[in-house]
Structures are given as structure tokens and as C-alpha cells.
Structure 1
């Protein structure tokens, strides 16, 4: 819907974003060609401009999951352009602004939403359920992808003359922001890029011991128990653990080999003895074809057996939590493992096990859990209420420290003893 208004005697056209409804046309589809995913339009034909950009991403070595995320971000943008009837190469900052406003009020549903009313806080986990609009981090990721999409086409001589979604203001000489940053120093202060949202800083969300025991007891199969035991002891990312093969499992040294998400390097990480016990119980009933050294460790329960993927593992966790009323995620299990390790290992060791590229990514795991902080605060107030405990908590200093020496006072101020 369009509204005509007048500012300084000049006509303007303003979109009523609140009433805008995007048609559910187009989709992201797997592809067996030179890119793993395509963005298809309403006629089920590939969007040529997006295909050209995704081919560039593939040539730069992007992972298939990253290319899929980029394709979905561009599908959001193109659905908006199709709704407002603006060609992609005619888009301006006005369309970018309206697109951001629409995202703040609406969202794209891909997976099954978490149980509970949108925007409320789960009383058991303390996690806020997604609201009616798109999360600020998702908006920023979408705007960054669209900005890079236009930067690519502008460098190729196609698209508009100006990028409708400019990036952060470049540094001296046109270099990117903090290109030569010293990791031992704080990042220089700078204004965020236009249209970018403020993202609150949150501590890693981890499961208390009682909550994990409750979740583990809700698992019905040995496969699911082994999966949780490896997640909460190895600290591997969800996709990394699902990619482990039988060749990379070493019960003798109690390690598993994972392919790191970013570097694609093979790294052996430790796991608890209980995890290997549950794995052995799970593998008793597997056919011989699933126990080959090159075969994946985790498989679906329904036949025909297929390697367990992320969406299926996530569904296992959601089904187990429906009766518990919790909404823990697979990544929360990784946070739990790293939080536990930080209590006994030093920061460098936790960083190496986690596969972080910088200590800055590992430092948040040194923060205490909110439950621990609240428990210590309650002990503090109880100690203040009890006079005997308050007296015992005070340090006992020698009298020579509490008072002044008489000879020193006479020396300083004079007088008679």
C-alpha cells in the first residue's frame, strides 16, 4: 500500500510497511551443479543474478551451509522486491530501509517454532522465545549478505550505481574496518553500518547439572543418550559431531576426531568414558554396514537407515523436551561442555578443545552461571542476617594493625604521653 504525502512542497511516496504482505513465492532448492543451492523464482526458474553471486561464493571456498544461508537471505530480499514491484538493479536505500522495517515486524519461518507464546521467557530455562519480528542478529546477517551481493555486481559493472545497503564506513585509505587490529587491544570505537540493529551481548547459555540429568533421563534410545553424552563432554559443534565416522572414534584414548567447521582441519577432542559406553550399547544393534570404518557413527532409527543430520538431531531434542517444558538447543550442550571445562582447565586449553581462533571467543565461558551468582548472593544476604556468621566472616586483624603506635603519635604531634 502506498501513501502520498508532501514535505516541503515536494511529492513523496511512502510505503505502508505495516500492511505489506509478501507473497510466498520462490524457494531455495538443492542443486547438483557447480553450486549446492539455487534461488528459484515464482516460475521455478533460477534467479540469474543470485546464481552468479553464489557461484562466486563457491569459487571462494564457502561451505555448503554458508551458501544455503546466503541463498535464504537473498530470497528474503527478492521476495520483498517482488512484492513492491522494484527490479533488483533499480533498488535504492529507500527499499533497503523499508525492507529493514518489514523485517523488524515480520519474520520468515523455516523450522518448527519453539513451543510457547512468542516473545515470552521460558520459566525453566530463562530463554526468551523468538518474538513476532525477525531477530536483530538475523537482520544484520541478511543486510550484510545483500550488501555483498550488490558489491559483487557493482564491481562487475552490473546492478545500480550505488549499493542500496552500504557497509560500515571504511578506514583510512579505503581499507576495511579494523583490518590491522592488534588482538591484544580492544577494537577501536566506530559507528555501526547503516540500518544495522543493536544486538545484546549475552553470556553462553548452559544447562545446570540437574537440568541435564533431567534431559538425559528423557532420552528413550541408546543412540540419543550417546549423542547427548558426546555433546556435553566433547564440546564439539552440532554439525561436527554428526560428521564423525567410525574411523575417528578412539575408545582407548577416549577421543573422537572432528572436522572443524571453519578450517576443515582434523582435530581429536576428548570425551567422557560414559559417552563411549553408551556408544557401544547403541552399536550393538546396528547392522555391519553401519560399522564400517568409513561409515558415520550416528544413524536414523527408521529404516532405511540414513546418516543422522542436524534437523533430525534437533527434532530428537525437541521431542524429549515437550513433556519437560524446556527449550534447550544442541548448541547449549556445547556451551555446557565448555563452561564445565573452564572450571578445571586453563583458557588456552579450553580454546584448543573448542576450536576457537581467538581467546576472545573463549573468554565468555569464564563467566559464572546466573544460577551460581544468585546462589552466592543469597548466601551473602543470609550471612548479613545472622550476627554470628557475619562476625565469623570478618577478618581478624592484629591490634597493631587496627591502632597507631603511641611513640609515633608523640613524634608527629608532640605532647605528653
Structure 2
């Protein structure tokens, strides 16, 4: 089995899980169609199918029928998949994503196709007090509980969520060309998601002028040459005019030109020169930079860093929510990681006011 991209005469491209004869795998075909119909991004669907590929290959190896899987079989599969091909233990988040992919597929088979029961056993547990409560929370049946999978692995608390100014400067110095430096600058000064950055087109930045502030226009497009889409609707992200000039200089003087390609960031060399830069290329770029600088971080770390700095400068969560493109204001709070220095400074200001009443 393999995950392949099917290209239709209409120009539409679609990820499919196929067998050795390139026939779509029956167990996943209708589920894949449903994901596309529901508007899932191509990258998300590809990830789902790669997880299901591992699962179906395991069932084939154990001679287990997809439609008669028991919860015990799922448990044994997770013991098998917890290690990669090199014998290294996979991260809990990776295993949990695999669980979610399998559960979603079985849920579709159970509730839509009625072909088999769902072996992904779950339990109803009390809702943590920290979870978001919607406007009609009081009217919900079973509002005090949530559904949790028995198979979900406990995740470890993440390490570094943000970078200091010195770490950002150190990372910047390790990037080798102007395109890569510009990518780091934009991510650091805007907090854009990587898919939003890769989806930017030449017409999406303001014309350079004498005004001190410009903007990037983050626009939702269903047809995207980079196969990247933002999660939310259109928004405007303001940036310094100095950064607008740097983007314009890169586009006009250094960016390789290929007819019909309007993405700002494209590949610099090789057979893909001038084609939209891929997510994998960005991940490889930041992995190499982390190794050179000694600072472990990803492109998403810069998103955490940007919004944490805004919060430390006094911007409220409503502004941060709009700039970050979140649907709910509560989503913004998980990105805020005040430094020890800012926490100390905040308490010092509090203490200056309250120490006269010290008991």
C-alpha cells in the first residue's frame, strides 16, 4: 500500500490510499471522499491516510479483517506502533494522532455506512473546569462530561515554547541566504502559521511607501499552488514598512521566476526551482538551523514567541486573537508564555502598590 496523489483531467488533485495495483483501498475510499467534502486541507488528509496505511498494513500482517477488529486488537496495534522502524519510541502526540485517524475512519463506517461497530473504546469522563464553555453550555445534555479514548497516551509537557531576543538573533545569523532570513523575519514579526506563510502570493503584500506601517493580506484560497491553506477566514496582519521593502526586494531581485507561479516563497534550486516552497522544505530548514545554532525550535515556536511578546508589551487577548486568526479568544491563551523576567517585573509593579498593606 502507498499514499499517492491522483490528478484528474479537470486539474483537481486528490490524495488516495492505493494497493500495489494502484487501486483505491476500499476501507478508506469513501472516508477520504468525505474528508474532501467536509473541506479538510490536503495536508491533513494525507496525514490521515498515512496513519491508516500503517494500521491496515498491520491488520494484513496479522490476518485481521478491518470490519471485525476488536478493542484488544487496537491495543495490540498500539503496542506495535509505539516504536518506529529504528526501534525509537514515537512521541505520544504522534501515537495519539494515529489513534484519532483510526477512530475517525471507524466512526464514519459505523455512523454513516453502518458497515461495522467502532472498536475504538472510549469513556465518558468529567469535563475539566479549564475547558471552554460555549454560550449554550447550560442547555447541553451531559454538559459535565466529555468523551475520552481509552487508548490515548499521556503526553509530556512541552519544553521550549518561545525564544528570547538573543536566541532569535542567534538563529537569524545561522540562516545562509536572504530568502531564509526573510522567512524567519516574517514568522517572528507576524506569528503567521507556516501554511499561511507558504500560501502568500505576490499580490498579498502592500506596495512599499513612506508610511511607517504596511500589511500582509492573509487570504483563504481553495486553489493553492503550495497546497497550504489558513485555518480561518481572511485577515490583515500589519507589519513594519521596513519588512515590506525587504519582501519587495526579494520578489523583484532574487526570487526565481516561473510563469504562472505567484507564491512569494519558492524553491531556489534543483528540479523544483521557482516552484512553491513545500512544508517539508521549511521543516528541514529549521531543523538544520536548530542544529547550527544550538537552539532547538521550529517555525511554530516563532508564532508562540511573537504573541507572547505582544502580551508582555500589554496587548490584550482580543487584539492577539484577531492578529493570530483564532476563532475563540481562549485559543490565544495557550500561546502565551511570559518569561521569568516579565513575571518578576509584573510582580514588582504589583508589590510597589500593595506593600503598604503588607501584613
Same fold (TM over 0.5): yes
Picking from 209, 213, 217, the partner of 1:257 is: 217
1:22-57 deviations in Å (ceiling 9; x for gaps): xxxx22111124761111235543212211210111
CA distance 1:259–1:108, change in 2 (3 Å): farther
Residue 264 of structure 2 corresponds to: 297
Picking from 283, 288, 291, the partner of 1:314 is: 283
1:29 equivalent in alignment to 2:4:
yes
Picking from 213, 219, 224, the partner of 2:175 is: 219
Distance in 1, Cα, partners of 2:306 & 2:230: 20
Distance in 2, Cα, partners of 1:147 & 1:85: 20
Q: Give TM-score scaled by structure 1 length.
A: 0.69
Distance in 2, Cα, partners of 1:79 & 1:142: 14
1:183-223 deviations in Å (ceiling 9; x for gaps): 899x8455622212223454871111101001111122111
Picking from 305, 324, 347, the partner of 1:336 is: 305
Residue 95 of structure 2 corresponds to: 139
Residue 98 of structure 1 corresponds to: 76
1:293-347 deviations in Å (ceiling 9; x for gaps): x711112111532121211122222233332233311111111111111123111
Secondary structure at 1:62's aligned position in 2? coil
Larger-Rg structure: 1
1:165 equivalent in alignment to 2:125:
no
Counterpart mapping for 1:37-76 below 5 A: 37-76=15-54
Q: CA deviation at 1:262?
A: 5.5
Unpaired runs of 5+ residues, structure 2, are 221-228
Mean Cα displacement is larger for which, 229-238 or 202-211? 202-211
Number of equivalent positions: 329
Taking CA–CA contacts closer than 8 Å with sequence separation of 6 or more, which of the two structures ends up with the larger relative contact order? 2
CA distance 1:306–1:78, change in 2 (3 Å): same
Tell whether the 8 Å contact from 1:246 to 1:291 is kept in structure 2 after alignment: no
Distance in 2, Cα, partners of 1:372 & 1:324: 25
1:61-104 deviations in Å (ceiling 9; x for gaps): 22211211111121121121122111211211111111122233
Counterpart mapping for 1:255-404 below 5 A: 255-259=215-219, 261=229, 265-286=233-254, 289=257, 295-302=262-269, 304-344=273-313, 345-369=315-339, 376=344, 395=355
Q: Give TM-score scaled by structure 2 length.
A: 0.79
Mean Cα displacement is larger for which, 279-288 or 359-368? 279-288
Distance in 1, Cα, partners of 2:304 & 2:133: 30
Unpaired runs of 5+ residues, structure 1, are 1-25, 110-130, 172-177, 381-391, 403-417
1:107 equivalent in alignment to 2:107:
no
CA distance 1:366–1:103, change in 2 (3 Å): same
Tell whether the 8 Å contact from 1:36 to 1:67 is kept in structure 2 after alignment: no
Distance in 1, Cα, partners of 2:146 & 2:255: 58
Secondary structure at 1:213's aligned position in 2? helix
